[in-house]
Structures are given as C-alpha cells and as structure tokens.
Copies of this chain bind each other. A is one copy, B any other.
Amino acid sequence: MRKMFFLFILLLSFKGFSQDTSSAEDSLEIRKIYDMALLNGQAYDWLEHLSLKIGPRLSGSVNAQRAVEYTKKELEELGLEKVWLQPVMVPKWIRGTKEYAFIETAPGTSRNVNIAALGGSVSTPAMGTKAEVIEVQGIEDLEKYGEEQIKGKIIFFNRPMRADLINTFAAYGGCVDQRYKGAAEAVKYGAVGVIVRSLTHRLDDFPHTGSMTYEDLPVEKRIPSAAICTNDAEYLSSLLKLDKSVKLYMKINSEQLADVQSYNVIGEITGSEFPDEYIVVGGHLDSWDLGDGSHDDGAGVVQSMEVLRLFKEINYKPKRSIRVVLFMNEENGLRGGNKYAEEVKRKKENHIFALESDAGGFTPRGFSFDTGDAQFNQIESWKKLFEPYLIHQFHRNGSGADIIPLKNGSVVLAGLRPDSQRYFDHHHSDNDTFEAINKRELELGAATMASLIYLVDKYGFKTISTQQEPKM
C-alpha cells in the first residue's frame, strides 16, 4: 500500500514535470523581462521628459504635438520595424486665464475658493456669474427642487466618493455622472452654472477637472461648469447649512476652438510567424492641462513603449505583430481610440489582444479583462507565473477607454490594474506630477504588461467559443 502510494505520487510528479516544461521556460523569460525593467529600465527617463520637459498635453495643444514628436523619435530609436503617425482630428478646448471664484456671505464679505473649469465648459459672461447656490447630492435631486427653486441659481453637486469601496475606481464610477452630465441636467431646470465636488477622497485644495457633456444643447444655452476643491466644497456646504442666501461668484475664461490636426503615435515589431495577427499595447498621450499628466497617462505611455523596448533588449522575437499605440485625445473626445479602431476595420487587420495602461503608474496588482470564458480561463492558467511578482488580480471587469472601440466579439481586451488607493489623489489636477511617480512601481507595471503580452504572443488564444462550454 505504501509503495503504491509513492508510485502514485511519483506519477503525479512526472505529470507536473511534463506540464511545467513550457512554464519553466516562461518563468525564465518573464524573470528576464522584470530584470531588464528594474535594472536597466527606460520608462522613468521617458516619463521625466514627457512630464518635466514637455508638461501637460491637452489635445490640440503645442505640448501635445511636442509629445507626439518626442515619442515618435524615441520609438524610432528602438529599431522597430515600423513607426508612424496616424492622423486624427481632435477638439481644441482651452482653459484661458485661470478661473477665479469666491463665496459671498454678505455684500463685501467673501472668501476665495479653488475651482477649475470642467473640460469643454463654456466661459462665464465677461463679468462672471454670481448666484445663490443649491447643494444637491446628485442628478436625482434636481427634480425634487424643480425649476421654480433652481432657476437662476448655481447647482452644487456635492456627493462625495464612497470611502468604503476598496476599489477607488468604483467610488469614482459612483460619482462621475455629476461631473459628466450635471450641467446638461441642471440647465433643464434653469440653472445658470454648475460646480461639482472634486472627485477625490482627499480633503485638499486641488480642483480636479475632467470631461463633461452638454449633449445636444445649443451653444447659447450652455452654462459654465467647474470642479471645486474638496476643502472648499466642505466649507460651502457648511455655510449653506447656516445660510441659503450665500452667493457663489465664478469667472471662467475657456474657449472651444475649431478641431485641429493631431496624431496617434504607433510603433510595430512585425511578427515572425503570424505577422497578420496583431497585439496592441497602449496608453494615451494626451492629458488634462493641470499638473503634468504623469499618472494620467504619461505612465501608461512610457510603460507601453517600454514593453517593446524590453522585447528588443532581451532579444525576444514575437511571433505576432506587437504594436505600441499612443492614443491621442482620450480625455476629451476619444478621437484617437476611435480612429485607430476605424483603420483596423478598414484594413481588416486581425487584432487578437489589446492591453491598455491607464490607471496610474502605481504598483501593479493585476489585470482586468473583457473577454469570453475560454480566453479568460486560459489567461488564468498563467496566473502562477505572475506570483513571484505579487501580481494576483485577474478579473473580468473592464479594459481601457482607448481600446474599447476595437471590441468585435473576438479580440481580448485588457487593462493593467495598479494599486488604486492613491490614484484619485492626483487624477486630473495640479497634483498629478512627476514627483508622485515611484520609479520601481512604474517599472514593475511595464514588466507586468510585457510578461502578459509575451504569453499572449507565444500561445495565442484558443478559439473555443464560450457558447460551447457547459454552464452549471
């Protein structure tokens, strides 16, 4: 009995051994990737240039164009098979002179508050907008007040991000409607302006901008809309509890100009066996005009570039064509992502996988996937290879805004998932700066992305349809 038991164990071991042949090679290759990223990485230096030498890169700005030229030049130096610019027209919104705002508790008695126009907001009239304020906890509240109370007022959306959610992106998702369509909704009730509590857990003095929509509202009916920093949101809220008649003054000097020419920046290592199967890795080159866009999304840009550089450096020759795509205009239009997908469709390029890094340059924790069961199970079977690097999250919840337009029922989409706790401390504000980047965290992200792409390139995806799998 004892002998048989040992024989059984022995057989199990052999089975393990034969299964692990490829996986041992993969372990070594992945170790090479991490070593190269950590010992001889380029991502941090690239980001230093993007952030400190160039700076914020709002679509249509001179800086965005400088970033296009810089990253193209850097990709050219990597010795890729192809590097090119993909033209795309982008919106050009400018903030103009910095906003000015104060709360007036009585005529002649006021306190300045920090606001930043939301991206796409119209300017206030030349003399600014001054009005009483109605604080609401969300769009649903507008109906409660109705046109009678709202008309001529400024609506103050003040629902904070939930602190109890572990994933801060979920907390963001639960509040961002106030910013994105608060103005479009408030205007229906006659509001003359909107301010939105900044989307961050922190209590500080940074207003956090971001995209918004007026839907199909004619230009002349649009109302100015701005983010207010959380400290001032708290102050205003406490004031309103005492006195409903306090007024907010705001002056916004923004302007929406005509669309301008810009570009996605693309580099490619052509596949050795399946050159017509494409794998995309990318981030977005544009940023908001506050801070320098280091986390959003300078980090994703340089990590994506680094993936291709790492393959070159460790002399890994992909079977499939690997493209780095630095998308333009994720923040206020998604024109770059849409354009890239359009061209893929037009040229009938077979994309099997796309991975975006657009959640900050923090310690990577894993990936989210938008795919079918079979592909996800296959990816999960690689999980063990990532354990030495403390990569443990493999879940099915989202990918990246720029790659969603590629979705066609077969391409696997994925997003890098870094630790999310600090992200909204920086997001879309003056606080998104290079000094908030940790070199090792950035490099670990790049290595993690490269490792997954290495595996997808090497093994491809099984084509088992999800429908054929038994469901319990």
Contact = CB atoms under 8 A, between A and B. Distances in A.
Interface stretch (A136-144, A408-416, A439-447): A439-447
A363 B9 CA distance: 40
A166 B201 contact: no
A438 interface: yes
Nearest to A442: B421
A311 interface: no
A389 interface: yes
Copies of this chain, count:
2
Most interface-central of A38, A39, A166, A202 (chain B CB within 10 A): A166
A236 to B, nearest CB: 22
B422 A201 contact: no
A212 B202 CA distance: 39
A242 interface: no
A278 interface: no
Size bin of chain A's contact surface: 20 to 34
Contacts of A421: 363, 438, 440-441, 444
A441 B163 CA distance: 11
Contacts of A202: 439
A439 B164 CA distance: 13
A35 interface: yes
Contacts of A277: none
Interface of A: 9, 34-35, 38-39, 163-164, 166, 168, 201-202, 363, 365, 388-390, 392-393, 419, 421-422, 425, 438-441, 444, 472
Given A34-B164, A166-B444, A168-B440, 4 more contacts: A163-B440, A166-B390, A201-B440, A390-B392
